[in-house]
Amino acid sequence: MQRTRDEILSDIELWAKERLATGEQTIYLGSGGNGRMGVLADGRMEGEEQSSGRGDENDRHTISEIKSNNLKKTTASAKTSSARIPSPPPSAHTPIPPAAGIPAPRTTSAATRNPQPEIRSSQTPNPTPQTPAPWLSATDLPTLQSLISSCTKCELHKTRTNFVFGVGNPNAKVMVIGEAPGKDEDEQGEPFVGRAGQLLNKMLAAINFPREEVFIANILKSRPPGNRDPKPEEVAACEPYLWKQIEIIKPKMILCVGRIAGSNLLKTGDESLAKMRGKVFDFMNAKVMVTYHPAALLRNPNWKHGAWEDLKQFRKLYDELVGNREAGS
Ligand code: SF4
């Protein structure tokens, strides 16, 4: 559904205030063909047009001025205004600002030594405007966990048995990200336990990543009833926690298991698993690859060969990036 300009500006305003509360002076919201838009520490917005360089005082306006088109620089208002308004988020491949306190994913050049190199841009979704929450300031995983484990941001808190934060090495160079807790995970409060978890352990061990040396987490921290797919609003509510985990852990590489994990992390829309496999994405300074979910491999053993190819490629890229050592070394 197309969002109105005012709705977009309201979201940006709330998001920007949250970011500014962390001490940032200017927040640039993105760049496009005409220029880019920023929010200053005093709450004004600033347009910067590529043709004229950094905007002067007349190019700075409050959000309410922009909303009402009451711009000081009236002769250039139409041009400047359009330069200040970003494209309506979210669309699958349009970079838009990240959630409060979370760094934007970067796109880099192709990984030339990868056998099937195709670096794809990734994005973080539309910011959810909220009052700055204490967990945004967490700098270690135990603190973060203690601050979010009673979360009630979406309806899934009503049906969960346990909040499933994630498990593993807090200094891991590799993160494994799945979709959401299942029945066993919900009961035990740990991701990837049960048969699928055992197979994941074997998959990781096969490429010399012991489970305890990586960090395993999910897009959602609470189980969707009946293991249904996550709803977009649940993902939007929960994924900032995962971004915060990534920010704290700083993995070099991320392995997404399953299409839903990959498409939600990388915002690839309805792209199939087949199209995501074999590619290397950039997200928050980590290289990301996508492969089968172990539960899918249990249902379809014929896919194990493809999964093995993915895992070998993942390990090869890891060795190139980090060196031929174990994940936590
Ligand atoms: S799924 Fe995430 S956002 Fe929803 S209640 Fe659980 S922890 Fe909170």
Separation of CA 61 and ligand 1 centre (Å): 37
Neighbouring-strand partners of residue 84: none
Would residue 76 be called left, alpha or beta, if left means φ above 0 and alpha means ψ between -120 and 50 degrees? Answer: alpha
Fold topology of 119-322: Uracil-DNA Glycosylase, subunit E (3.40.470)
CA 175 from centroid of its chain's CA atoms:
13
Neighbouring CB atoms inside 10 A of 226's CB total: 7
Dump pLDDT digits (tens) for 207-244. Answer: 999 999 999 999 999 999 999 999 999 999 999 999 99
Domain ranges of the chain: 5-84, 119-322
Average pLDDT score over residue span 191-197: 96
Dump pLDDT digits (tens) for 254-290. Answer: 999 999 999 999 999 999 999 999 999 999 999 999 9
| pLDDT recorded at residue 322 | 93
Would residue 41 be called left, alpha or beta, if left means φ above 0 and alpha means ψ between -120 and 50 degrees? Answer: alpha
Least confident of 13-22, 119-128, 261-270: 119-128
Output 164 or 39, whichever has higher pLDDT: 164
| pLDDT recorded at residue 120 | 33
Containing H/E element for 318?
helix 304-322
Average pLDDT score over residue span 22-43: 44
- Binding site membership of 100 for ligand 1 (Cβ less than 6 Å): no
| pLDDT recorded at residue 66 | 45
- Binding site membership of 237 for ligand 1 (Cβ less than 6 Å): yes
Query: What's the rounded Cα separation, in Å, for the pair 205 and 327?
Result: 11
Instruction: With a cut of 60, say whether residue 30 has pLDDT above it.
Output: no
Instruction: With a cut of 60, say whether residue 304 has pLDDT above it.
Output: yes
Query: What's the rounded Cα separation, in Å, for the pair 248 and 102?
Result: 10
| pLDDT recorded at residue 106 | 39
Instruction: With a cut of 90, say whether residue 34 has pLDDT above it.
Output: no
Ligand 1, residue 234: give the atom nearest the CA. 4
| pLDDT recorded at residue 118 | 32
Separation of CA 220 and ligand 1 centre (Å): 6
Query: What's the rounded Cα separation, in Å, for the pair 122 and 142?
Result: 28
Amino acid at 144: L
Length reported for the chain: 329
Average pLDDT score over residue span 154-158: 98
Amino acid at 267: K
Output 328 or 249, whichever has higher pLDDT: 249
| pLDDT recorded at residue 42 | 47
Ligand 1, residue 237: give the atom nearest the CA. 3
Separation of CA 295 and ligand 1 centre (Å): 22
Output 245 or 48, whichever has higher pLDDT: 245
- Binding site membership of 12 for ligand 1 (Cβ less than 6 Å): no
Phi, psi of 88 (to 5 degrees): -60, 120
- Binding site membership of 180 for ligand 1 (Cβ less than 6 Å): no
Which residue from 221, 227, 235 has its CB within 8 A of the most atoms of ligand 1, so it is best to mutate? 221
Separation of CA 228 and ligand 1 centre (Å): 15
Dump pLDDT digits (tens) for 55-78. Answer: 333 444 444 544 454 433 333 333
Instruction: With a cut of 70, say whether residue 10 has pLDDT above it.
Output: no
Structure tokens that stand for 128 in this block: 């959810």
CA 116 from centroid of its chain's CA atoms:
23
Percent of the chain with pLDDT over 70: 58
- Binding site membership of 154 for ligand 1 (Cβ less than 6 Å): yes
| pLDDT recorded at residue 323 | 83
